[in-house]
Structure 1
Amino acid sequence: MNEIELLREWDADAPPLSDAARARARFRLHQAMQAPTAPVAVPGVGRRPLLRIAVAGVAAAAVTATVVVAQNTGEQAPRTQTVSATTVLRGAAAEALRTEKPVAPRDDQFIYTKEVIERRPVSGGPVKKWVDESWSSVDGSKKGYVSELGYKQWVPAFKPGQGTWPPTKWSELKELPTDPGKLTATLRDMGGKPDYGRPTRADEWPMVEIFLSGLLRHSVLPKGLRSAAFEALAAAPGVKVLPGRTEFNGHTALGVQYVIGPPGTSWKDGGRTLLFDAETYQYLGLRERATGKNTVYDQSQYVVASGVVDRVFQRP
């Protein structure tokens, strides 16, 4: 009996997998496919039993998105390989599906976001920190209230025909596809009828990546959309994991940098970087360079609370 037959027969009467479980299983299967095919010497265990255990684990999806890739170097502790940007972003997609809480806000409600922004001068000096709270109208028909770097202001309601891209109105966010390829095409074509059959050109990807990261700035999104944005970024050319790990908001983090600007270039020396937990690949926030009052800063920002509320100044 081969492994495919085992997979077909394994717990055939079990209920279907949830979307999150299926995403984690697909992610683990992708990892297994990328692993070296040569057998790994493990005392007392043959290669086929190990493979059968891995197949059953994929079918059951009874594991988290955490993956540690180890090499048998003969040392007591395994040496971990550097993961790819695709691995991190697909892991983040699976983790987003696993942890998201489906919401259905009414048009007359508000999306609440509490975000922390920290700035550290590149040349050295004290860190400045802001805790910003914002309330955005779900359908854009009501005045919102926004704080950024401590500067607070009322935001007028949209006039008829007004909007933003990527959209901020919940009704328009719900219309965005959760298929990663279709999402890329929809954002690329900026509200027009998407041409799903046309490949995205190299000169279009930087703007698409800006739109995708713009979606990720939303603290609350329709079901499956955040995961789709991570999957779409995983397919973008030039996306890479920065060497080394860093500490971010109490987590050991991996940084992923993506193409932005002219084709074939990326932000370097402190450019915009998406940060993910090094074990779960949960999205943590971003870092980038910022300039203010003739000073260059390393700026970090991350969301600490979010939800749906009935009025401005109300908190979930």
Structure 2
Amino acid sequence: MTTGEKMKDADTIFRELKPAALDELAGDAHARRRDGDLARAMHAPAARRRRARRPVLLVAGVAAAACAAAGTVVLANGGEPASRPPAAGREAVDARTFLLASATAAAKAPAATGRYWYNRQRTSGEVGGYRTVVVGKGPDARKVKKKISYRASIETPGEMWLARDQGKGRKISGPEKLVFPTAGDEAGWRKDGSPRLVSGSNEKRIWEGPSRPSIGNDEVSFKELAALPTDAGRLQAVLRDRYARDLKDSENPFTGTFTVYLWETARDLLAGPITPGTKSALFKVLAGQPGIRMAGRTTDRLGRPGMAVTVKEAPDGGANATESRLVISAKTADLLEFGVWESGYGAGVTTYEKMGWVGALGARL
């Protein structure tokens, strides 16, 4: 279970951190109190805000792949960073405070159900570093790496209907679209000969058949998702058990820490049909963990306001630092966006446009 595999959300939606040392009664009271603290801090004049003490960044095993969302861009080791994570405003609110406030907001959401879980999203993989070009003709032809001096992203829309009880679902992906951040970047691409940077067809691809959500390496039923604990301690115990099993998986063993496993699993669960109680418990588990920092206010690629929480790692001592980022609505605790940035490899971002229950295959929110 790699980050690159999980960024391909048109095919998989569902796929971590120190045991939560939160006393449940104290934690619930703290969450309610911090909810008000968060609201006041976010609306307080900048001059009155105190600089937050940043937690120690976690060095763990988050594995990122260049433009994995699109799965099409050819990049080479040592390429220039294609982008940085979008800048977010500094806040006096720390990650724990925000996540506990999110737990309170999530618990207030009305419970709902339906025949299909619907998810509409847009993945974006940024072009950067180098592209492969063919030099020469016939037997003398050879492939070489050509440095790209302009910026572009490959955007792919996708929709998914997951049916209960392994009924027939549907997945739609594409068409891919090349997007440039500035007119100058597009001019640079045209000067480069307007190379085809998307690998697949420009057509919409549709798949229908039975499908199930998953947690880690295991597929699960909707009934199992609905039965996930609403108590933070018990939910963490369930996820630790799954982590222990995935470590021993003979075909696809997970090689990262529990921290990474929980972070990635949280991202997938937040995009899926879990109950408000489980969602609230998940935020509480995350709130008790080290290695998560608050990046502050930001907007997703649709312009929606949210708060960004991040985890960083440097697997080789810093040469290829990776940051993964969750953008969460401060009002509703809904997941808006997930992104991975890795030095020398560009960016992969999934923006969740709509998700929720619908009553019929093909119905949209």
TM range (shorter): 0.5 to 0.7
- The answer to whether the 8 A contact 1:92-1:283 is kept is no
Looking at both structures, which has the greater relative contact order when contacts are Cα pairs under 8 Å and sequence separation is at least 6?
Answer: 2
Aligned to 1:147: 172
Which amino acid in structure 2 is aligned with residue 307 of structure 1? Answer: G
Aligned to 1:78: 48
- Distance (Å, rounded) in 2 between the aligned partners of 1:259 and 1:279: 25
1:169 to 215, 221, 225: 221
Deviation at 1:235, TM superposition (A): 1.7
- Distance (Å, rounded) in 1 between the aligned partners of 2:335 and 2:128: 25
Deviation at 1:28, TM superposition (A): 4.3
Q: Normalised by the size of structure 2, how large is the TM-score? A: 0.53
2:161 counterpart of 1:135: yes
- The answer to whether the 8 A contact 1:143-1:157 is kept is yes
Deviation at 1:177, TM superposition (A): 0.2
- Larger of the two Rg values belongs to structure: 1
Aligned to 1:305: 354
What's the CA shift string for 1:142-196, capped at 9, x where partnerless? 12212345563425426xxx97325552211111101111111102212999xxx
Deviation at 1:135, TM superposition (A): 0.7
2:303 counterpart of 1:250: yes
Aligned to 1:215: 269
Q: Against the structure 1 CA distance between its residues 189 and 86, is the aligned structure 2 distance closer, same or farther, given a 3 Å change threshold?
A: same
Q: Against the structure 1 CA distance between its residues 180 and 261, is the aligned structure 2 distance closer, same or farther, given a 3 Å change threshold?
A: farther
Q: Normalised by the size of structure 1, how large is the TM-score? A: 0.60
- The answer to whether the 8 A contact 1:259-1:267 is kept is no
- The answer to whether the 8 A contact 2:339-2:347 is kept is yes
Aligned to 1:41: none
Q: Against the structure 1 CA distance between its residues 149 and 239, is the aligned structure 2 distance closer, same or farther, given a 3 Å change threshold?
A: farther
Runs of 5+ in structure 1 lacking a partner?
A: 1-22, 32-62, 194-201
Deviation at 1:70, TM superposition (A): 9.2
What's the CA shift string for 1:63-98, capped at 9, x where partnerless? 696230799xxx994235432211121122222223
Deviation at 1:104, TM superposition (A): 2.8
Which amino acid in structure 1 is aligned with residue 215 of structure 2? Answer: W
What's the CA shift string for 1:120-157, capped at 9, x where partnerless? 335642333332111111222x1221234556342542
Runs of 5+ in structure 2 lacking a partner?
A: 1-26, 52-91, 130-149, 176-203, 246-255
- Distance (Å, rounded) in 2 between the aligned partners of 1:165 and 1:188: 12
- Distance (Å, rounded) in 1 between the aligned partners of 2:306 and 2:275: 26
- Distance (Å, rounded) in 1 between the aligned partners of 2:321 and 2:243: 34
Aligned to 1:189: 241
- The number of equivalent residue pairs is 239
Superposed structure 1 runs of 4+ greater than 6 Å apart: 259-262, 265-268, 278-281
Deviation at 1:118, TM superposition (A): 2.8
Aligned to 1:234: 287
- The answer to whether the 8 A contact 1:137-1:143 is kept is yes
Q: Against the structure 1 CA distance between its residues 134 and 122, is the aligned structure 2 distance closer, same or farther, given a 3 Å change threshold?
A: same
Which amino acid in structure 1 is aligned with residue 362 of structure 2? Answer: F
2:41 counterpart of 1:68: yes
Identity of aligned residues (%): 22
What's the CA shift string for 1:18-61, capped at 9, x where partnerless? xxxxx996424247xxxxxxxxxxxxxxxxxxxxxxxxxxxxxx
2:173 counterpart of 1:119: no
Deviation at 1:206, TM superposition (A): 2.4
- The answer to whether the 8 A contact 1:256-1:273 is kept is yes
Aligned to 1:103: 112
Range with greater deviation from structure 2 (281-290 or 296-305) = 281-290
Q: Against the structure 1 CA distance between its residues 225 and 261, is the aligned structure 2 distance closer, same or farther, given a 3 Å change threshold?
A: farther
Range with greater deviation from structure 2 (306-315 or 244-253) = 244-253
Deviation at 1:286, TM superposition (A): 1.3
- The answer to whether the 8 A contact 2:38-2:98 is kept is no
Q: Against the structure 1 CA distance between its residues 241 and 174, is the aligned structure 2 distance closer, same or farther, given a 3 Å change threshold?
A: same
- Distance (Å, rounded) in 2 between the aligned partners of 1:285 and 1:89: 16
Deviation at 1:116, TM superposition (A): 2.2
What's the CA shift string for 1:179-232, capped at 9, x where partnerless? 111111102212999xxxxxxxx94332233222221121x3223122211111
